[in-house]
Chain A
Amino acid sequence: MRRIGIDVGGTNTDAVLIDGSRVLGAVKTNTTADVLGGVRTALDKLLAQTADDPGTIAAVVIGTTHFTNAVIERRALQRVGALRIGLPASASLPPFIDWPEDLAAMVRGEVHMVAGGHEYDGRPIVPLDLGAIRDAARRMADAGLTSVGVTSVFSPLTAECEQEAGRILAEEMPGVAITLSHELGRIGLLERENVTLLNACLQDLAQKTVAAFTEALRSSGLTAPLYLTQNDGTIMRAETASRFPVWCFASGPTNSMRGAAFLSGLDDGVVVDVGGTTSDIGYLKGGFPREANAAVEIGGVRTLFRMPDLLSIGLGGGTEISADGSRIGPRSVGFRLLQKGLLFGGDTLTATDIACAAGRTDLGDRSLVEGLSPGLVARTLARMGEMIAEGVDRMKTEAGDVPLLAVGGGSFLIPDEVEGCSEVIRVEHHAVANAVGAAIAQASGEVDHIFSNLTRDQAVAAAQTEAESRAVAAGARRESLKLVELEDIPLSYLPGDARRVRVRMVGDIG
């Protein structure tokens, strides 16, 4: 089955065409401000390169950092209404409390806090104040807001209050975009609310961007369904992505890790993606990145949701090296490597110059680095290898050696032997690992519910059935579904043999 994967990054837009496990073509172009132009160019080049009939393509999958970058660069964000349900609890720390001032000033429209929410054991804190929600909705409508984020105390355990509020908002604010926190986050009110508000402020941009992707496909003659990749390495339908842009936040590194796994044929190991300024180190388990369980900051905002566990270290191709080699980074010449690096006639000693002098790679004019002392080159190379080994070790969750998958434009900085790694694997097409990761992404369905008055087996079966139908709704073929995660926790403080069951099913699309 033929699929196209596209990675829309801040600088480059890469596209690949794969058939089963073979990469038939790969192209790189510049990302354009309107997104559409770059994607269309990439598609046209790819189809020309492979001389393929667009009609044979079964699916197009796009991974993008567009929404993350919008938050980081503070652009194209809309003003939102924040509705918190939980009074009389938590009143002193209103929504946006610990946001960077510049971002809050752009995004904070109206803030409303109303009575309601639940206890940890499912009892209501106080009755939900429906009148106050209706009043808040009218005020937000009057203020011209078109997107609202709703967060209720303990909603990951009981979503009733948020769902009720959603119904009232839809009645009072026709056409409003509504983000409910239980659909996004976990326990931790402020962090979950932050994710909800970030999602709300990206609604317009998400709709426009997904529309542009759709238009690019149409104008390239593609009729295949469009999917976007999410943080956990699985896909969602384009309509879903336009409602939940935050699920795309970390899809870049995730796709790079998944792509590396696919290209190497390995499902478990450490992936080191060496870019211009940093190296991202992540851990693959069963072909998927391990999830982070601590707060992750995005654009200075604390969040806690489904994100890959990544360690970023200050080592990339453009990393600056002091003249005596005693200091490596963290400064980097970044994308100016082609002007600043010694190899390219510049005046700054970089990691790439060292690697080239040692014969690890061949770039620029090698005669320009011949004067570097062999001792300096050897010491610096060794130290860079140690930095990578240390980063890899920090990400390991168990003792023993693991294979290391080396990807990214600067992956020549990774030595052939790394302490704690059984082998270092370099693969073809590693520079477009992101796009490959997008092309191979599967669809998933997840359930995280509390079940009562059922035996453990019955509860797990119920959760699995629901997860299966969600995965199918997300685009998976039923016969390809596999159970990838199952967790059940008895809740001893609740009556009726209550247990929380989390199930995730994954399957191929098409």
Chain B
Amino acid sequence: MRQIERDELEPLATGAWILGTGGGGSPYLSYLNMRKLYAEGTRVKLMDPADLADDALVAVVSNMGAPLVGQERLSDPAFAAKPVRMMEEYLGRPFTAVMSVEIGGGNAFQPLLVAAMTGLPVVDADAMGRAYPEAQMTSFAIADLPMFPLTLADIRDNEVIVARAASWKWMERISRKVCTEVGSIAATCKAPRTGAEVKAHGILYTTTQAIALGREVRRARHAHEDPVAATLAAAKGKLLFRGKVSDVQRRATEGFLRGNARIDGIDDDRGARFEVAFQNEYAVGWRDGRVIVTTPDLICVLDSVSGEAIGTESLRYGQRVSVIALPAPAILRTPKGIAHVGPRAFGHDTDYVTVFGDGAATEQFS
């Protein structure tokens, strides 16, 4: 157990935004909340998952909804903590610790916000190692752990408990419906996990890795070194393409932002073309018409100069970008994992294609 220091918050925001692979929502507003809480003297502890007792009870939290709504109804720690208290009351047991469902994007900060309000430690782990849009796209779902109960709160006095659901997909449908009804933004506490479950099926040490990644990118930026190269080195990634965005098409369908972007090569990739498809997150990449990378590999689009991650909603013509891939957590790369989060789960009729040879990179980071 150690304290998360004030100077780790900004690196966490930078790193988490890269691991968001284009989605997950910007961490900016949640980061502002933590910065304010730290300025007021609050401190949050980070817990090694190995230190969790097998029968410990861990809250898995997320902020759910449309990023657009999140820009008007801002992230708020009191609101984040509400469903956690509801769950404790419902179960009649207190939590030992809190963790995020996804390290990518704004949800990297959700357990920190809860921890600041409750004093619970944050487990250094999540259930994706990146960002994904739906409830069944987690390591816990892939491991067939129970998906209920779930608590959901809005900023008014509306509190909803989903006591049971027939499957992870049903849980997604029901909770999404409730979320839309309360204004397309809700704080949730997902099915609680035991310490044993987290240790066996969580994606471990991702908070530490996100901070380290963000710190390295920021260091490179300040030292006028190449922040893209720093990202690759820090996260054992591969550069796929350098170019200039030459076309972006988006459509909002069934509550998701879907689309495609085309990137024309520059430097070593001059004359070549890269295409990337997204559904909230970047999902599939083609080089000159041939699929070369798919989810669950983390496909990230970075500003070639600043190394800052570019979200699928802010991608636009003319940006100089570097497309990189980071290795996915091992559980997502199993046949079962691929069934949950592979390209077919996003409507692409292709098998999983990785740029990290078989078994070469079964862990996301060293």
Q: Which residues of A contact B (CB under 8 A)?
A: 86, 88-93, 97-98, 119-121, 123, 125-126, 153-154, 187-190, 293-294, 393-399
Min Cβ gap A197→B in Å is 16
- For window 309-366 of chain B, which residues contact chain A by CB distance below 8 Å? 314, 316-320
- In the complex, what residue of chain A is closest to B244 when comparing beta carbons? A393
- B68 touching A92, Cβ below 8 Å: no
Q: What chain A residues lie within 8 Å of B69 (beta carbons)? A: 120
Please report B residues at the A interface, Cβ cutoff 8 Å. Answer: 29, 32-33, 36, 66, 68-69, 71-78, 155-156, 183-184, 244, 246, 314, 316-320
The reply to whether A399 and B76 form a contact with Cβ atoms under 8 Å apart is no
The 9 closest A-B pairs by CB, nearest first: A90-B74, A89-B73, A92-B76, A119-B183, A88-B155, A188-B71, A189-B72, A89-B155, A93-B74
Contact among B71, B77, B244 with A92 in the assembled complex (CB-CB below 8 Å): B77
Other CB < 8 Å A-B pairs besides A98-B32, A190-B29, A393-B244, 12 of them? A86-B73, A89-B72, A93-B33, A93-B36, A93-B76, A97-B32, A97-B36, A120-B68, A120-B183, A125-B155, A187-B71, A188-B72
Cα–Cα distance between A152 and B66 once the two chains are bound (Å): 19
Given contacts A98-B32, A393-B244, A399-B246, contact A89 B314 (CB under 8 A): no
Interface of B is mostly: loop
Name the residue in B71, B78, B320 with the highest tally of chain A Cβ atoms < 10 Å from its Cβ.
B71
Q: How far apart are B327's CB and chain A's nearest CB, in angstroms?
A: 31
| In contact, A91 and B76 (Cβ under 8 angstroms) | yes
Residues of B within 8 A of A399 (CB): 246
Contact of A120 among B29, B66, B77, B156 (CB under 8 A): B66
Residues of B within 8 A of A123 (CB): 183
Cβ–Cβ contact B75 & A393, under 8 A: no
Q: Is the CB of A125 within 8 A of B183?
A: yes
Are B75 and A187 interface neighbours, CB within 8 A?
A: no
Q: Report the separation of the CA atoms of residues A190 and B70 in the bound assembly, to the nearest whole angstrom.
A: 11
**Beta-carbon contact of A90 and B76 below 8 Å:** yes
- Shortest distance between the CB of B154 and any CB in chain A (Å): 9
What residue in chain B is nearest A293 (Cβ atoms)?
B316
User: In the bound complex, what is the Cα–Cα distance between A86 and B73 (angstroms)?
Assistant: 8
Instruction: Give bound CA distance, A37 to B33, whole Å.
Output: 47
> Given the complex of chains A and B, what is the CA–CA distance between A397 and B244 in angstroms?
11
A394 and B78 within 8 A (CB): no
- Tell me, rounded to whole Å, the shortest Cβ–Cβ distance linking A195 to chain B: 14
Q: What CA separation (Å) do A88 and B185 show in the bound complex?
A: 13
> Is A91 touching B78 in the complex (CB atoms < 8 A)?
yes
Check if B318 sits within 8 Å of A394, measured CB to CB: yes
Whether A89 contacts B76 in the complex (CB less than 8 A), given A125-B155, A125-B183, comes out as yes
Question: Which residues of B are found within 8 Å of A90, using beta-carbon distances?
Answer: 72-74, 76
Report A302 CB to chain B, min CB distance, Å.
9
What CA separation (Å) do A418 and B33 show in the bound complex? 47
Chain B contacts of A190 at CB under 8 A? 29, 74
Q: How far is the CA of A187 from the CA of B70 in the complex (A)?
A: 10
Structural contact, A396 and B76, CB atoms closer than 8 A: no
Closest chain A CB from B321 CB (angstroms) = 12
Give the complex CA separation of A91 and B338 in angstroms.
Answer: 41
B78 cross-chain contacts in A, Cβ below 8 A: 91-92
**Cβ-closest chain A residue relative to B76:** A92
Query: How far apart sit A123 and B73, CA to CA, in the bound complex (Å)?
Result: 14
Q: What's the least CB distance linking A123 to chain B, in Å?
A: 8
Chain B residues in 8 Å Cβ range of A98: 32
Chain A residues whose CB sits within 8 angstroms of the CB of B76 once the complex forms: 89-93
Residues of A within 8 A of B75 (CB): 92-93
Question: A119 CA to B314 CA in the complex, in Å?
Answer: 23
Expressed in whole angstroms, the Cα–Cα distance for A206 and B74 within the complex equals 32
B155 touches A397 (CB 8 A): no
Determine the residue in chain A with the shortest Cβ distance to B264. Answer: A399
A397 near B318: Cβ-Cβ < 8 Å = yes
Q: A98-B32, A125-B155 are in contact. Are A89 and B74 (CB under 8 A)?
A: yes
Q: Nearest Cβ in chain B — how far from A131, in angstroms?
A: 19
Interface centre among A92, A93, A123 (most CB of B within 10 A): A92
Residues of chain A within 8 A (CB-CB) of B32 are 93, 97-98
Nearest B residue (CB) for A123: B183
Assembly CA distance A393 to B245 (angstroms): 11
Residues of B contacting A188 in the complex (Cβ-Cβ under 8 angstroms): 71-72
Alpha-carbon distance A394/B305, docked complex (angstroms): 12
- Specify which of A92, A393, A397 is in contact with B33 (CB 8 Å cutoff): A92
**In whole angstroms, what is the CA distance A249 to B170 when docked?**
51
Collect the chain B residues with CB atoms within 8 Å of residue A393's CB: 244, 318
Contact A153 B73 (CB under 8 A): yes
Please give me the residue from chain B that is nearest to A86 by CB atom: B73
Cβ of B314 to closest chain A Cβ, rounded Å: 7
C-alpha gap A175/B271 in the complex (Å): 64
Kindly state the separation between the CA atoms of A98 and B39 in the bound complex, as whole angstroms: 13
Chain B residues positioned under 8 Å from A153 (CB to CB): 72-73
Q: How far is the CA of A97 from the CA of B68 in the complex (A)?
A: 20
